Structure formats: structure tokens, C-alpha cells
Amino acid sequence: MSKVDISLTIGGPQGGGIDTSSNMVSRAFAYAGYNVFSVREYHSNIKGRHSYTHMRVKQERPRSLRYPLDVLVALDSDTIFEHIEDVGENTKIIYDSSFEGSELSKARMITNDTAGRIRKTLEANGYSPDVTGSIKYMKDRGGIPIAIPFSKIVTSVVKEGTPSRYYNTLGSAITLAISGIDREFAEKAIRIIFASKEKVVPSNIDVVGAAYEFVEENKLNGIHLEKRESKERLLITGNDGSAIGKIMGGLRFQTYYPITPASDESTIIEEHENIKWLSEEHSKLAKGGIVVVQTEDELAAITMAIGAALTGVRSSTATSGPGFSLMAEAISFAGMDEVPLVVTLYQRGGPSTGLPTRNGQSDLLFALNTGHGEFPRIVLSSGDVEECVYDAIKALNYAQRYQLPVIHLIDKNLANTLDMVPNIDVDKVGVQNGVRVEENADFKRYSLDNEDGVSPMGVFGKNIFWMTGDEHDEQGHVTEDTEIRDRMMEKRFKKIKTAEKEIPLEERVELLGSKDADVTFVTWGSQKGPILDVIDDLAEEGIKANLLYLKMFEPFPTNFVRDVLTKARRVVNVESNMLGQASRVIEQHTGFEIKDSILKYNGRHMTEDEILRAVKNLIGAKEHMVVLQNGA
Amino acid sequence: MAHNYRNDVAIDWCPGCGDFGIVSALTQALGELNLDPNDVIAVSGIGCSGKTPHYLNIAGVHTLHGRAIPYATGVKLANPNLNVLVTGGDGDLMSIGAGHFVAEGRRNTGLTVILYDNAVYGLTKGQAAPTLALGEQTKSLPRPNMFSKVNPIALALTSGYTFVARGFTSDIKQLKEIIKKGMQHEGSALIDVLQPCPTYNNINTMDWYRNRVYKLEDEDSWDPIVTEDNVSSLQEKFTKAYNKGLEWDEKIPTGVFFDNRTVPPFTKRLEKNLPEYFSNPPSSQVIASPDGKTLVDPVETFRDRVIQ
Ligand SMILES: Cc1ncc(C[n+]2csc(CCOP(=O)(O)OP(=O)(O)O)c2C)c(N)n1
Ligand code: SF4
Ligand SMILES: [Mg+2]
């Protein structure tokens, strides 16, 4: 069978069931043996504003998204307006025939600036600023409009309730039918998704049936996608991944104050606090459960997590930019008092409230410098959903081993991205405890006797010791003695040298792709996947490229990075921020200045096609910086 | 041998500071309660008051200004079998940490919160604290205080503290008894301690208080305790406590204002979701096999995310 590579978007009003659609379509493709990767884009709004899922389906695991789309499903007219630029040759545009004629000026949920931009595009090209004009615009660019009588199809099988409540199921089923997925998989998805709302299963199944019949009657189905052999897989987001990793890594205390896109992680942990064990024997050892606390604010979230950590439990909090700003003082405390603490920092578009539901990578420099004074910390970042799992475990281990705050960066793009993870290797990352004291006699919490800077830890409930955010002596009492001050500062920083020695280089940085390359990309976070796809695209055109992929920013893998960059022919830095924050960190550590960059700060996910276009422009030496703009 | 709850760290409070009385009452209370010293934890914020844990021979943490309550809550929720004390200033608990103070009332975690009420910011040289009355001008204020005062008793009651009391540093015996009761109380306790600061508060001095304080327990009919058996008296006792809490200028009541034993503490609320919470709390759970591997089956735990 030929290569399957389908890009599709399902859009509709926020609160109109886009998540369910995304889940249903992903699952149905997955049951048929395909792999799905999808990003959720949404406004900071509960009901009405444009919201969509952008996905890609392949035989192998997709790593990125791309435009133009193969299928655009519009559950409302706003979706048509918002995505006129996302269609190309042969894009199927599925929409409700009743949208025909709807005017852009009446689209209440599109802000004036966006509507103005779309209107300008349509009018400048001679199209009317309404659905009819927009459909024509897309058709003239190769799109294939497929108007569907949504209401008629739904009411033919569902006699009660509001028909529009089924539009997401209908749109999803039509998508699946047109893409050649067997009906049984669509039905199975419905049964699983609505398992807890059994009452609505039959009517949704009826709508699926009606959708398949409509597609059949109107001969809209093209190819048939055969069922492929597939193993059990997890369909999870970065929020899920981090939650899974934390539970596996022994986290038993988590705090949070609600904030997008971080709080889902905490509720996911709470929903899964009833842990299943690898063996019967384990279950006897380990019962008790995880405490998850929604606190009064982020000041409490982090300090409560620290308080818990002092009893020996693995503890963490999760937040995003605004909450992290509030946590700064306590991060400094955790550094000073050598508290094993993990903060999962979900990055969204800043500054201030910024783009609360959109992507960003603008908190790297902040994470490296949060808190007053000088203290050691570890800062690591994940680049795909699977990495979120293992990095969450590692973060907990590092915190215990080095007794310091560990900041785990995950961008919004991973937090809300559904990915298929074939297998979680329970042996890949161990769960290692830090050094603890047993005897209480003459216990010095901040003993200066240890070469590696790590003093054996005591815990509240077992040992008597003192702690203070003031500079302290070995016992933990306040001191301003000049010699002790120097030695304590040096002891704390020794731990970062120890970490540098102990943490394997491959956990901190990787050179992906061939050693010998014309272009060396540099990135971190969620651009990893799209860049790896771009590297393959470039290879087809005879251009050799590789990727210097950064995972740990503190301790920074200086020598390795310097070595790769100084030998590279052309270096292109790719980041979702305006300042090129990682390139600044690189320059600070290595002295190497990266000249070419591809940046994006409109809050939307980077797509394969736009990175490819941009890098070609850079190779053509037309410019040194390209700002990417894809995304509705 | 009895554990000595006072360690040998030199105390650096000003001579005559009311804080000495609190440490005396506290160490005596701990001695009389006969607890395992490992099971009592002192958590403080920042201020003169914040130094207290260093002077006690139990584990303690001197945290950040205003954050003693959430730190302490973290300790208690991770190990509900510990007795957790909070020692904080009026600036610490009633101003920068006021949000946590209110939230703790709602949680009723089971902390014993001792409020060092000196009406000034001692450690930053005598600025007005939230318990200083409007128009008062203590020594180091350039002009009279422009804020109205907060009433710790009323605030604690309305926030949900289930044990609300007041002590006075010059009556160590009464304060000791109050601290013992507060620690034995299952829910969260607020103990407002009238604490003269001879260095900066020249208005609310030791004598000023002495001339005004009286003991609630000296009134024969005073009974602040609410149990399941007399729960119908809840509203009446709350109102009485509140009204007593409003008394100030002429006569200042001390003693236990309110002792409500009918509200389950946060720890018991957690136990409803986690049946083995007390016997196997987060702090003592085994999280890895002897060879350092996870015990968790990620796929079975996340069965709802599995595609088959
Ligand atoms: C975040 C922060 N802001 C300000 C300070 C400075 N500061 C130290 S102690 C203190 C006030 C202490 O007053 P109070 O809480 O009443 O304690 P007291 O000294 O009176 O016992 C302040 C404002 C600080 N340590 N941290
Ligand atoms: S400044 Fe006031 S509160 Fe602080 S130690 Fe001196 S007397 Fe006590
Ligand atoms: Mg004070």
C-alpha cells in the first residue's frame, strides 16, 4: 500500500466538542492501525471562540504537522474564515451547507483585527467577505468543497434534542468515512469515548451510520485504508506524559493552583491516584496513594510542596509563567536550603498573561535565573510527549540526588499534543533515592564534610535538625560568619559540578542525524519533531542536515555544544520566542554566536512546511532571520 | 530522661521582649504533653518571631516571610502523624501571609498557629503591623497609623479555625495550657498572643495589657466547646466567641474563645479518598524496588489512555 500521510483540521466553536472530535478521529485511525499526532489550538475562552485540532496521520509515528491540509472540517462558519490560507491542491473542505452566504461581518466570535485581515485578503483578490466567497477562494486554490446538510443528516436518525450537539460526531464520522476508515472503528471510538455517558452512545452511533451512508451514496469516499497490524499504544498528551512519569518516579505529593496549560497535569494525577502495581508484591509495599492539593495561590503551591519535601516525600508543583513568577522567592529558598523539589514549568506565550492558551518558549532565561541570589539548580526540557514521561522521572531523581530545585520545561505545544507512545519502558529510568542519614546523633543537615557537596539528608519525623532561608551553619542555624558563608556558598555550587560529572552527556544534549552536514539546526522543546522531518525533506533534495538538540540548560553541556558548533558549516537556531533565548545561553557558555535563526512568537505551533521554506531562504542567504507566521 | 525542649542556641531577642514568654510557655507545654520529640515540628516565617524554631530542641524550619502556613501544611499533609506548630508575627500572618491564614481556616489541616501579636514589624524596626489600631503612633512611626486594624480572633473565626484562643506573654501558665489545648485539638488552632515589644511598641506595653486582660475561664458560664453532642449550640457559641473577640480597649479577654470539634480536619477529608493515608502517608511510602526500579505499572494505571 502506498504511503499514508494525511493532514487534517477539525474546527468549531470552543465548547462545541472539538476535543471529542479530536479524540474520536485519533482513536478511529489508531484502531485501524495508523499513528496520529495532533495539536490543540484554542482561545482563552469557554464557549464560542474558534478552536481547532490540527492532526497528521501516518503509518509510522508522525513527528510534526504541516500545511496545506488534506481535509478541513468546519463545524462552524468561523472555521472557514480562519483557515482560508491552510488549503491547497485537493484539500477537501467539509462544511455545513447552511453556512453558505454567512457574512464575515456577522462572525461575532472573530476579533475585529482577525476579521479585518481575512476581509482584506478576500477583497483584495476579488472575493466576497462571506462563506461563499471564502469557499470560492479556497476552491480557486485547488480546494474541493464538500457541502453537507448537517441538520438533515442528524435529524434523519436522531429525533430528540438539539441536532447541533451531534455536529462534532457527524463531522468526525464524515472525515473518517472520506479518509477510508472502516465504520466499525468510528463506532468503537464512540463507545469508548462515551463509556461514562452510556445514554448518548446509541444516538451517536446512529449519526456515525448516517454519515457513512451519506458518504457512500454521494460517492465521496476515495481510497480505503486497510487495517494494519498494531500493538497496544498509549494515546497521551504532554500533560499525561509528565503525570505518568511523576507517578512512576515515586511522586506522592503534588500541589497546584489552576492555570493553563499546567493544571491538567495535576488533575490527571489525581484521577490516577489509584495506582496499579507491576506485581502483587509491590502492591503490598506501596499502597497509600498520592496527595494532590489545589492551593490558594502559587506562593502556597510551591511552599507547600517544599514543606512536604522536608518529610522525605517526592514532591512537586506544576505551573506556567504567571504562577512561576510568583514562585521565584521560594525557588531561591529551595536552592539555599537544599530542598529536593521539582517544578514543572509549562511554557505559554508571555509576557504577563500574554497568550494564555498558546505556545511559547520565552521562559528559558527566566527559569535559569528565577529567584534572588546565587544558588545551583537543574533546568531540563522535553522535546516530545514520550520524553515528558522519562524526564519527569529523571527530574525527581536529580532533585533527590543533588538536593536542589529542578525545573522541568514543557511547552504548551507538548502539553496539549496527543501523541501515540508505543511502549513505556519501566526499566529505562530507575528510581534512585538520595543519601539519607539514619542515626540522629550529632546530625548536621548541612555537613561540610562531603567532597561532592551533597550532605546526607534527614527528614522531619525521623531526625531533629533546623533549616533557615538565612545563611546557616552545618546545623542549620543562622550565621553571618564570613568563613562559613564562603564555605556554604562553595558547597552548594559543588553539587552542580557533581551533577555535571554524573549526569550522562546524552541526557543533556544530542546530535541527531548525520555527523557531516551542510546545515546544523539548533533547537529545544517541541520543534524537535518538525525539524527531524525537515531534515528528511532536505535529504530528499540532496541537502545534508543535522540537529543539535538541547535537553539540559543547567548544568550546560558547554564543551559538546562548542565542539559541534565550531565545526558546523552553517548553524540555524530554531525557537518559539523573539530573543532566541537558547542561542543567548549558548553564546554565554561557549562564546559561539549563531547568525541564522528561525523564530516564531505568534503562539501557534511550528509546522514542517514553514521551517522547510524558511531554512531554504536562509540557505539562499537572502536573510539571516525568518519569523514564522503559520496558524489560525 | 525527659527531653529538654530548649536547645543551647543563644537567643538574640531584645531584653524584655514578650517572645521569651512564648518560648517558655511552648517548651513547658511540649514537656507536659509528653510527645516523641521527633513528632513535633516548628515552622516559622520571618521576623523576630520567625527565629523561634532555632531555639527549640525539635526539628524546625524558618521559612519565608508570610509563608509559614503553607510550608507547615505541606509537612502535615505529607505526614499527618506529626504535630506541626506555626510561629509567626502579625505582619507575617496577618499581612503578607493573610491569604494563607484564611485558606488554612478553610482547610482546618490541624496546625497550631501561634500569632506573635506585637502590633509592629519588629525585625524591620517598628513599622505598623496589621494589628496596630488606626491613629496610633508607636515610637518609630513618622506619623499616626493610617490603616484600621485587623482583628485576629474575628478573622480566625470567620475563616473557619475550629480552635480560637488568646494568651498573654506575661501569663506563661495560662499560655502553656492554651498551647497544650491547641495542640491536642484535631483541627487548626489560632492562638493570638499579646506580645509586648518594648523596643518599638510604646503604646501596647506590658503594663497596658496587664491593666486590661481578664480570663474567659474565670466566668463560670463560659463554655466554648462544641461537640457532636451539643452541636445545636454551635451558632450561639460562635456568636459569643465573636462578640468576645470584639472586646478590646477597656477590657481584653484571654483564654479559649471557641473550640469546635465537629469539623473534620483536612487530613480526614483526604483519608476518604485515600483509605490508607494515615497508616501509609506519602512520607513513608515505598516508591522503588530494592534495585531502584519503579513499582508502578504505567500502562495499567493509565488504562483509559490505551489504544487496543
Ligand atoms: C518578602 C519579604 N518582604 C519583606 C521582608 C522584610 N521583613 C522582614 S521581617 C518583616 C516584618 C516582620 O514583622 P512581623 O511579622 O510582625 O514579625 P515580628 O518581627 O514583629 O515578630 C519584614 C517586612 C522579607 N523578609 N521578605
Ligand atoms: S524588636 Fe520587639 S519583637 Fe523584636 S526582639 Fe526586640 S522587643 Fe522583641
Ligand atoms: Mg510583629
Are residues A313 and B64, on separate chains, in Cβ contact within 8 Å? no
Size of interface A-B (CB pairs under 8 A): 252
Cβ neighbours of residue B156 closer than 8 Å, sequence gap 6 or more: B101, B105, B164, B190, B192
A469:B57 CB<8 A: no
Q: How far is A383 from chain B (nearest CA, A)?
A: 20
The b/e string for A226-237 (b: 16+ C-beta within 10 A; e otherwise) is eeeebeebbbbb
Q: Which atom of ligand 2 is nearest to the CA of B14?
A: 6
State in Å: Cα B120 to ligand 2 middle. 9
**Rounded Cα gap, residues A586 and A582, in angstroms:** 6
CA dihedral A436, A440, A444, A447 (to 10 degrees): -40
Nearest CA to ligand 2 atom 8: B17
Per-residue model confidence as pLDDT tens for chain B (308 residues): 689 999 999 999 999 999 999 999 999 999 999 999 999 999 999 999 999 999 999 999 999 999 999 999 999 999 999 999 999 999 999 999 999 999 999 999 999 999 999 999 999 999 999 999 999 999 999 999 999 999 999 999 999 999 999 999 999 999 999 999 999 999 999 999 999 999 999 999 999 999 999 999 999 999 999 999 999 999 999 999 999 999 999 999 999 999 999 999 999 999 999 999 999 999 999 999 989 999 999 999 999 999 98
> Which residues, 6+ apart, have CB-to-CB distance to B40 below 8 Å?
B30, B58, B59, B82, B83, B84, B85
Please give, rounded to a whole number of angstroms, the shortest distance from the CA of A544 to a CA of chain B: 37
Residue A285, classed as helix, strand or coil, is helix
pLDDT at A622 over 90: no
Residue of A466, A472, A481 to mutate when probing chain B, most B C-beta within 10 A? A466
User: Least CA distance to B82: which residue of chain A?
Assistant: A461
Q: Considering only CA atoms, which of A364, A368, A432, A358 is closest in space to residue A395?
A: A432
Tell me, what amino acid is at A105? S
Which regions of chain A carry the CATH code 3.40.50.970?
A: 235-428
- Beta-carbon separation of B305 and A291 below 8 A: no
CB contact A313 to B (< 8 Å): yes
Q: What is the reported pLDDT for A206? A: 97
**Position A140 confidence tier, pLDDT thresholds 50, 70, 90:** very high
Inter-chain CB proximity B294 and A27 less than 8 Å:
no
For B19, the grid coordinates are 517572645
Angle subtended at Cα B152 by Cα A305 and Cα B173, rounded to the nearest 5 degrees? 95
* Cβ(B114)–Cβ(B22) below 8 Å: yes
Nearest residue, CB atoms, B281 vs list A236, A288, A333: A288
Among B14, B22, B23, B92, name the best residue to mutate to test ligand 1's pocket (greatest count of ligand atoms within 8 A of Cβ).
Answer: B92
Region A235-428: CATH code: 3.40.50.970
Q: Give the nearest partner residue to B295 out of A285, A291, A478, using CB atoms.
A: A285
C-alpha to C-alpha distance for A31 and A39, rounded to whole angstroms: 19
How far does residue A6's CA lie from ligand 3's centre (Å)? Answer: 66
Burial class (CB in 10 A: 0-12, 13-18, 19+), A131: buried
CA atoms within 13 A on the CB side of A276: 11
Q: Which residue of chain A comes nearest to B266, CA vs CA?
A: A293
Burial class (CB in 10 A: 0-12, 13-18, 19+), B256: buried
Cβ atoms of B293 and A281 closer than 8 Å: no
Question: What residues does CATH 3.40.50.920 cover in chain A?
Answer: 507-627
From A234's Cα to the closest Cα of chain B, the distance in A is: 4
Band (A69; pLDDT cuts 50, 70, 90): very high
Q: State which residue of chain B sits closest to A463, comparing Cα positions.
A: B38
Residue nearest to atom 13 of ligand 1 (CA): B121
Interchain proximity B307–A420, CB inside 8 Å:
yes
Residue A598, SS3?
Answer: strand
Q: Choose the closest CB to A462 out of B38, B61, B294.
A: B38
For residue B59, give the C-alpha cell.
Answer: 526539628
* Cα B257 from Cα B237, distance rounded (Å): 9
Q: Please give the pLDDT value at position B193.
A: 98
Using DSSP, state whether A144 is helix, strand or coil: strand
Q: Provide φ and ψ at A93, rounded to 5°.
A: -110, 105
- Alpha-carbon distance of A228 to A181, in angstroms, equals 11
pLDDT at A469: 98
- A176: closest CA among A144, A223, A139? A223
- Side-chain-facing half-sphere of B170: CA atoms under 13 Å: 13
CATH for A507-627 (3.40.50.2300, 3.20.20.10, 3.40.50.920, 3.40.50.11260): 3.40.50.920
Q: Are A304 and B77 a contacting pair at CB < 8 A?
A: yes
Count CB neighbours of A489 within 10 A: 15
Nearest residue of chain A to residue B35 (CA atoms): A461
Partners of B284 on chain A (C-beta within 8 Å) are 288, 312
Pairing state between β B252-260 and B163-168:
antiparallel
Phi, psi torsion values for A169, nearest 5 degrees: -65, -45
- Residue having the nearest C-alpha atom to atom 9 of ligand 1: B47
Prediction pTM value: 0.97
Nearest by Cα to A548 from A567, A565, A566:
A565
Is pLDDT above 70 for A1?
no
Q: Which residue(s) pair with A234 in the sheet?
A: A421, B306
Query: Which residue in chain A is spatially nearest to B285 when comparing CA positions?
Result: A286
CA distance B152 to B132: 11
Please provide the size of chain B in residues. Answer: 308
As a whole-number percent, the residues of chain A with pLDDT over 90 amount to 91
Query: What are the backbone angles phi and psi of residue B234, rounded to the nearest 5°?
Result: -55, -55
Measured CA angle at A282 (ends A277, A285), to 5 deg = 125
Residues A462-480 have a mean pLDDT of 97
pLDDT in tens, A536-557: 999 999 999 999 999 999 999 9
The neighbour count for residue A490, using CB atoms within 10 Å, is 11
Q: Which residues of B touch A285 (CB under 8 A)?
A: 286, 295
Which of A317, A468, A471 best probes binding to B when mutated, by most B CB atoms within 10 angstroms?
A468
Q: List the one residue out of A251, A151, A250 whose CA is nearest residue A207.
A: A151
Mapped onto helix, strand or coil, the DSSP state of residue A575 is: strand
**B17 C-alpha to ligand 2 centroid (Å):** 5
Judged on CB neighbours under 10 Å (0-12, 13-18, 19+), B124 is: middle
pLDDT of residue B99: 98
Contact A311 B287 (CB under 8 A): no
Contact A399, A342 (CB under 8 A): yes
- CA nearest A56: which of A33, A39, A36? A36
ipTM above 0.95, yes or no: yes
CB contact, 8 Å: A460 with chain B?
A: yes
Q: Are A388 and A551 in contact (CB under 8 A)?
A: no
* Domain A5-217: assigned CATH number: 3.40.920.10
pLDDT tens-digit series, residues A423-461: 899 999 999 888 999 766 679 999 999 999 999 999 999
Q: How far apart are CA A566 and CA A63, in angstroms?
A: 29
**Mutation choice for B interface testing from A299, A304, A397, A440 by most B CBs within 10 A:** A304
Q: Spell out the alpha helix ranges (H) of A503-579.
A: 528-540, 558-567
Length of chain A equals 632
Whole-angstrom distance, CA of residue A156 vs CA of residue B151 = 67
- E strands in B55-121: 59-62, 83-89, 112-117, 120-121
Q: Is the pLDDT of residue A620 over 90?
A: no
Amino acid at A497: K
**Distance set, CA A168 to CA A10, A21, A327 (Å):** 9, 6, 40
Q: Does the distance separating the beta carbons of A469 and B287 come in below 8 Å?
A: no
Ramachandran angles phi, psi of A241, nearest 5°: -60, -50
Nearest residue by C-alpha to atom 5 in ligand 2: B13
Residue labelled with grid coordinates 541527531: A512
Q: List, in order, residues 6 or more apart from A472 with CB less than 8 Å away.
A: A446, A466, A478, A479, A488
- Distance (Å) from CA B292 to ligand 1 centroid: 43
Please name which of B126, B127, B143, B145 lies closest in space to residue B135, comparing C-alpha atoms: B145
- Cα of B120 to ligand 3 centre, how many Å? 4
For the CA of B200, the nearest atom of ligand 2: 2
Please report residues of B whose CB lies closer than 8 A to that of A288: 274, 276-277, 279-282, 284-285
Residues within a 6 A CB radius of ligand 2: B 13-14, 17, 19, 48, 118, 122, 197-200
Looking at residue A193, its pLDDT comes to 93
pLDDT digits (tens, 9 = 90+) for B18-50: 999 999 999 999 999 999 999 999 999 999 999
Using alpha carbons only, how large is chain A's radius of gyration in Å? Answer: 26
Joined grid coordinates for residue A194: 462515551
Class of domain B19-270: alpha beta
What is the maximum alpha-carbon separation in chain A? 86
Interstrand relation of A571-575 and A509-513 (parallel, antiparallel or unpaired): unpaired
